[in-house]
């Protein structure tokens, strides 16, 4: 059976894989939630993943270059939304439950500022943030630290 090709001559399965790479966080390896770009390298991560990573490191998770800040990536969010609309039944779109997405969104709000390499979170005016402090200790600790009315399973 011949593999179908799109207009650019790329196989549909290869196109899907290329698209998937554009919407996958390099830290949690799942679909971006509130993606941010790390400055200055512009590598991407979920906002909550970047926040947890940068609490204990001043280096990018991907290139290991120094990070001086983060910026919300509205373009990447649009790409994620497009992926969800064209491939809603893909494993990537179904891996994360709505409950986990809600927890991640409670840990990072778009536009939120935080210190890199440790310390307390700060608001854009430099005042301490009201959001609770969380530690990044990997996926196992992440799963066991989630508190809501039910059990979260990844």
**Spatial contact of 128 and 121, defined as CB atoms under 8 Å apart:** yes
Under 8 Å between Cβ of 152 and 100? yes
Q: Looking at domain 12-145, does it have CATH number 3.30.40.10?
A: yes
Per domain, the residue ranges of the chain are 12-145
The verdict on pTM exceeding 0.85 is no
Do residues 82 and 145 make contact, with C-beta atoms less than 8 angstroms apart?
Answer: no
Q: pLDDT 10s per residue in the chain (154 long)? A: 445 555 555 566 787 788 889 999 999 999 999 999 999 999 999 999 999 999 999 999 999 999 999 999 999 999 999 999 988 888 888 888 999 999 999 999 999 988 898 755 555 555 555 444 444 444 443 443 333 334 444 3
Query: Residue 80 and residue 75: Cα distance in Å, rounded?
Result: 9
Q: Would you tell me the crossing angle of helices 74-86 and 12-22 to the nearest 10 degrees? A: 140
């Amino acid at each position: 059976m011949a593999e179908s090709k799109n207009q650019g001559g790329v196989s549909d399965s290869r196109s899907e894989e290329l698209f998937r790479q554009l919407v996958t966080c390099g830290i949690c390896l799942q679909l971006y939630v509130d993606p941010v770009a790390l400055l200055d390298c512009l590598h991407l991560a979920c906002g909550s993943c970047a926040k947890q990573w940068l609490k204990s490191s001043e280096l990018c998770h991907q290139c290991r270059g120094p990070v001086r800040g983060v910026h919300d990536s509205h373009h990447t969010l649009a790409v994620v939304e497009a992926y969800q609309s064209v491939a809603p039944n893909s494993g990537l779109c179904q891996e994360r439950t709505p409950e986990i997405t809600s927890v991640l969104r409670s840990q990072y709000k778009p536009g939120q500022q935080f210190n890199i390499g440790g310390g307390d979170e700060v608001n854009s005016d430099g005042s301490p943030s009201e959001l609770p402090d969380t530690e990044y200790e990997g996926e196992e600790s992440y799963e066991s630290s989630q508190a809501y009315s039910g059990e979260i399973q990844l």
